Structure formats: structure tokens, C-alpha cells
């Protein structure tokens, strides 16, 4: 665990409290975090404007480690970087028994936000119960080692149910059974969604509050802001609050690809730095706890059986990777022969890594994973922010800037044809796309 003493937190290098607004501390300007210390502005920028993340870090792959060691980004309190709506703070303050729920299949942000909120509320004297109704990928299992992440209902009747990183009842598994009888419901999400009581299965008179902020990089950032607004981590994310900071930092790191994405808001990096107490050792410990590579036998099998397809028209290209249920099952079997703790979500996580690589190469990438019960999980990545979300919404899903997805009923071939038609329509084509194999190097 990331336990840190108060003495290490103490004062910043400027000799001031990290949460203060002194001249040397960071401040929010035009959506970016202030750069103290007289750092010259990037060429072509007006004086006083702060450079974006990519102009400060030496290269994207080292952004998080660089930021923890430099004064270019000062730690920032989450509730100042992302002020939470007062109705949500009041609802949490008035609740005594809270259930937090993340989505299925899980990712680092939903697990981190659900766990972090529950742990933080318990430190504030409330009863809390975190639910993610799914097996966790091997890389996320370390976050729930304290035994406080559950799949089943709480041992008490909640007076508030909080959905984090999700706004749909059909994405939270059996935890949706808690919603019809919930006295009050809250939704905290950073995707382009509109929570509706009817879609959540709420009773007509159930109070519902929501904080939907698409500009925010992770629901874990929103949770950190809510906890601070409630009086949490009063001296920083140290001592017992480091147990809350760890899952929140994990959620932010995984949802921003460890800040490699150029879409990341610099305020999120400043909040992340505060959660880890500007401690490079804490960052390395977090990376080690979350790392888990699929065994080579499984990756070789997937590389041999999968071949990406390039959809092309003129100068427009997109890469597509379709995976049958049988292929995923064979990969899981091969992986478990080497590591019995591997889950199907680890296989999906490996495929999502390939999706990100395809997107970096082609600009648009599609991953279609066939699942049981006649469903297909569609994941979309795009350099054009609106394209990914627009496609996902047409499929009944949603997402955020450049990252989106949906679960679609139907056979893999039928969903594949539908997705290709939607891509062609987005490109203004009336005819079918030219689809050609990309070659093995496109997968690996």
C-alpha cells in the first residue's frame, strides 16, 4: 500500500501548503494548470497562457514520472481543479449508508472510483459498500486485496446508491437490483451520457442527482474532488488517506493511459501528483501493482489467429479487429495453463492494448469482441473526438473524447456489417468500404 507520513508531505518546495493559492502555487487558467517558476511560454502562445501537457513533458511516455519530479506542475487539490456541484456534496454529507457501484466489464477507473469513494466515506464516519459485479482483470485484483470490493449486495439498507463511471443500469450486473428500491441515487460520470430515471429503473419519486463532466479525464478525479469537498484528506492524501488515494490514482492513470494520451487535461495530472504526494516511489509501486502481461503462449495464439482489416476510401482509413468467442476462450485456456489467475478480462485487456496501437497507426480503430448470449462488445478509438462517440451512440453506447464503446445484440458478422455501414455513412459514402487485410504486423 502507498502509506506516506505527514512529514514527507509537509510543505512544497515553494515553502507553502500545497492547497493554498499563494503566488508560487498552481492556478487554473484556460483549462490548464499554471506553470510556476517563470517557465517561458511555448512559441506562438500569448504571454500568461499556460502550455499544454505535451509542451512541458519531454515525451508522452514519461509524462507521469516527469511531472512527479518537476516543479512545472504543482500538486493541486481536486475540489479546486474540478469543483463538484453542491447538491452532490450535500447528498453525500447527509447520507449515512452508501453503496458505490462500478460498471461491468470493469476497468481501472470504475474500480478505483468505487473503492476510493467507499473507503473515503468510511474514513468520514459513514458505512459504505463498493460493488463491481464482475471478475477483475489480474492487473486490477491488487486494488481489492483488502476484501472491501464486493460482487453482492451490502449487509445494510442504503440511504444512497452512487453509480461511478457509469450511467446505465444494464452495465452494472446484478447491482441494478438495488436501484428500484433505492431511497436516493447519484451518478458520477465523465462520459457523454444523460442519466434518466426510467433507464435506471428508479421509482417515480426517487431523488436523483448527477455530475456529468466530459472534460474530466476520469471518474476517480471527480470522486477525489467530492471527498475533499466533504472534508476528506484535510492534510493531504497521506497516512490513512493514502489507502483511498491508491485506487483513485490507479483509476486516473489507467483511464489516461498513464498520461500518454494527448487529450489529457493538465489539471488531472496536477491532481494525480497530489494523490501520490509527488512521490516517484509511489508511482513505481502503483505501476508494479497494476502491471500484468498476458502469458506469451496466449499472445502468440492471438497473433496467429487474428488479422486486422483496414477499411479504406481515398485518404480515409480505419483499422478493424474482430474476435470470435471461441478465439477468446482458446486464448484464456492457453493463458491459464501458464497463470491460473488470468481472467477473460485479461484477454480483453490485451486486445484493448492492440486497439490503442491500431488507433495510433491509422487514426481510427475498431475492436469487435463476440460475447456469450448473442452480444458483441464494440470498442472504438479515434483521433477525432466526436467520431468515436458518435459511432458508439448510434450503436446504443457512449463514451468520451476519442474513446467510446457499446454492447450490441446480434451475431458478430451482422454487427460487423452494421459498424462498417456506420463508418461509411460518417465518411459520406453511399457504397461499401474497401476492406483489405492489414497484415500480421498490424496486430503485433
pLDDT in tens, 113-133: 999 999 999 999 999 999 999
Reported as a pLDDT band with limits 50, 70 and 90, residue 71 is: confident
Query: What does DSSP say about strands 97-101 and 160-164: parallel, antiparallel, or unpaired?
Result: parallel
Residue 442 has pLDDT above 80, yes or no: no
Query: Cα separation of 76 and 36, whole Å?
Result: 13
Backbone dihedral region for residue 281 (phi beyond 0: left; psi -120 to 50: alpha; all else: beta): alpha
What pLDDT score does 402 carry?
83
Query: Cα separation of 53 and 192, whole Å?
Result: 23
Higher pLDDT, residue 249 or 192: 249
Residue 428 has pLDDT above 90, yes or no: no
Reported as a pLDDT band with limits 50, 70 and 90, residue 165 is: very high
- CA distances (Å), origin 215, targets 82, 268, 320, 398, 399: 10, 10, 27, 15, 12
Terminal C-alpha separation, the chain: 34
Closest CA to 298 of 258, 339, 332: 332
Closest CA to 53 of 218, 265, 253, 254: 265
Reported as a pLDDT band with limits 50, 70 and 90, residue 435 is: low
The C-alpha torsion from 287 through 288 and 292 to 295, rounded to 10°, is 130
Q: Which residues of 186-225 are buried (b: 16+ CB within 10 A; e: fewer)?
A: bbbbbbbbebeeeebbbeeebebbbbbbeebbbbbbbbbb
- CA distances (Å), origin 298, targets 106, 320, 325, 326, 347: 21, 20, 15, 13, 8
Residue 79 has pLDDT above 90, yes or no: yes
**Max Cα distance, the chain (Å):** 66
- CA distances (Å), origin 268, targets 18, 120, 135, 427: 15, 19, 28, 33
Handedness of CA 19, 20, 21, 25 (dihedral sign): negative
Reported as a pLDDT band with limits 50, 70 and 90, residue 56 is: very low
What pLDDT score does 13 carry?
33
Average pLDDT score over residue span 85-97: 98
Average pLDDT score over residue span 182-192: 96
Q: What is the DSSP string of 395-441?
A: TT-EEETTEEEEEEES-HHHHHHHHHHHHHHHTT-SSPPEEEE--HH
What pLDDT score does 142 carry?
86
What pLDDT score does 32 carry?
32
And the C-alpha cell for 333? 485456456
Relative orientation angle of helices 242-255 and 266-275, to the nearest 10 degrees: 150
Q: Number of C-alpha atoms within 13 angstroms, CB side, residue 228?
A: 26
Reported as a pLDDT band with limits 50, 70 and 90, residue 43 is: very low
Residue 25 has pLDDT above 60, yes or no: no
Higher pLDDT, residue 49 or 172: 172
What pLDDT score does 436 carry?
67
Residue 248 has pLDDT above 90, yes or no: yes
What pLDDT score does 374 carry?
92
- Which residue has cell 479504406? 312
Domains identified in the chain and CATH numbers: 80-290 (3.90.1640.10), 296-443 (3.10.310.30)
pLDDT in tens, 263-304: 788 899 899 999 998 788 888 888 888 887 899 999 999 999
pLDDT in tens, 357-416: 899 899 899 999 999 889 999 999 988 767 888 899 899 888 887 888 999 999 999 999
And the C-alpha cell for 363? 487514426
- CA distances (Å), origin 322, targets 14, 326, 328, 330, 378: 52, 12, 11, 15, 9
Average pLDDT score over residue span 130-151: 90
**What percent of the chain lies above the pLDDT cut of 90?**
55
Mean of the per-residue pLDDT values for the chain?
A: 83
Residue 434 has pLDDT above 60, yes or no: yes
Query: What does DSSP say about strands 127-131 and 97-101: parallel, antiparallel, or unpaired?
Result: parallel
Higher pLDDT, residue 231 or 263: 231
- CA distances (Å), origin 273, targets 4, 80, 267, 320, 349: 14, 14, 10, 36, 26
Q: How many residues does the chain have?
A: 444
**Under 8 Å between Cβ of 100 and 129:** yes
Give ∠ CA 195-201-205 in degrees, rounded to 5: 85
Query: Cα separation of 179 and 32, whole Å?
Result: 37
Average pLDDT score over residue span 232-250: 95
Sequence-ordered strand ranges (E) for 213-306: none
What pLDDT score does 401 carry?
78
Give ∠ CA 214-50-269 in degrees, rounded to 5: 50
- Which residue has cell 484493448? 352
What pLDDT score does 258 carry?
86
Average pLDDT score over residue span 157-171: 96
CB atoms within 10 A of CB 103: 26
Residue 433 has pLDDT above 70, yes or no: no
**Under 8 Å between Cβ of 70 and 99:** no
Reported as a pLDDT band with limits 50, 70 and 90, residue 62 is: low
What pLDDT score does 153 carry?
95
Query: Cα separation of 278 and 290, whole Å?
Result: 19
Closest CA to 383 of 352, 359, 404: 359
Residue 159 has pLDDT above 80, yes or no: yes
Amino acid at each position: 500500500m502507498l502509506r506516506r507520513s505527514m512529514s514527507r508531505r509537509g510543505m512544497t518546495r515553494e515553502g507553502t501548503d500545497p492547497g493554498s493559492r499563494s503566488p508560487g502555487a498552481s492556478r487554473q487558467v484556460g483549462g490548464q494548470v499554471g506553470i510556476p517558476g517563470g517557465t517561458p511560454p511555448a512559441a506562438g502562445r500569448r504571454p500568461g497562457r499556460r502550455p499544454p501537457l505535451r509542451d512541458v513533458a519531454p515525451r508522452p511516455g514519461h509524462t507521469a514520472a516527469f511531472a512527479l519530479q518537476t516543479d512545472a506542475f504543482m500538486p493541486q487539490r481536486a475540489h479546486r481543479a474540478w469543483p463538484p456541484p453542491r447538491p452532490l456534496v450535500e447528498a453525500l454529507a447527509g447520507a449515512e449508508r452508501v453503496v458505490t457501484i462500478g460498471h461491468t466489464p470493469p476497468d481501472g477507473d470504475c474500480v478505483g472510483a468505487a473503492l476510493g469513494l467507499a473507503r473515503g466515506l468510511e474514513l468520514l464516519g459513514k458505512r459504505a459498500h463498493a460493488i463491481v459485479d464482475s471478475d477483475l482483470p489480474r492487473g486490477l485484483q491488487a486494488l481489492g486485496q483488502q476484501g472491501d470490493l464486493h460482487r453482492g449486495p451490502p449487509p445494510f439498507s442504503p440511504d444512497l446508491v452512487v453509480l461511478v463511471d457509469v450511467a446505465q443500469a444494464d452495465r452494472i450486473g446484478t447491482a441494478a437490483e438495488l436501484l428500484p428500491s433505492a431511497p436516493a441515487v447519484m451518478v458520477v460520470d465523465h462520459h457523454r451520457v444523460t442519466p434518466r430515471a426510467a433507464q435506471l429503473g428508479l421509482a417515480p419519486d426517487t431523488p436523483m442527482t448527477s455530475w456529468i463532466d466530459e472534460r474530466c479525464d476520469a471518474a476517480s478525479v471527480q470522486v477525489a474532488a467530492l471527498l475533499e469537498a466533504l472534508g476528506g484528506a484535510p492534510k493531504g492524501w497521506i497516512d490513512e488517506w493514502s489507502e483511498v488515494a491508491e485506487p483513485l490514482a490507479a483509476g486516473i492513470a489507467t483511464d489516461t493511459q498513464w498520461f500518454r494520451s494527448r487529450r489529457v487535461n493538465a489539471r488531472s495530472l496536477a491532481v494525480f501528483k497530489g494523490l501520490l504526494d509527488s512521490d516517484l516511489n509511489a508511482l513505481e509501486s502503483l505501476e508494479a501493482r497494476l502491471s500484468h502481461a498476458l502469458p506469451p503462449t496466449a499472445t502468440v495464439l492471438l497473433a496467429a489467429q487474428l488479422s486486422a482489416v483496414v477499411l479504406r476510401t481515398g485518404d480515409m482509413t480505419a483499422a478493424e479487429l474482430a474476435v470470435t468467442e471461441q478465439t477468446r476462450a482458446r486464448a484464456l485456456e492457453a493463458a491459464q495453463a501458464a497463470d491460473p489467475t488470468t481472467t477473460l478480462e485479461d484477454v480483453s485487456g490485451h486486445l484493448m492494448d492492440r486497439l490503442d496501437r491500431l488507433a495510433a497507426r491509422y487514426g481510427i480503430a475498431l475492436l469487435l469482441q463476440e460475447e456469450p448470449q448473442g452480444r458483441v462488445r464494440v470498442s472504438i478509438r479515434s483521433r477525432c473526438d466526436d467520431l468515436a462517440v458518435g459511432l458508439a451512440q448510434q450503436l446504443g453506447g457512449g463514451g468520451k473524447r476519442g474513446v467510446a464503446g457499446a454492447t450490441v445484440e446480434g451475431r458478430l458478422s451482422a454487427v460487423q456489417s452494421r459498424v462498417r455501414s456506420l463508418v461509411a455513412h460518417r465518411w459520406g459514402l453511399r457504397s461499401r468500404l474497401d476492406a483489405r487485410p492489414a497484415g500480421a504486423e498490424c496486430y503485433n
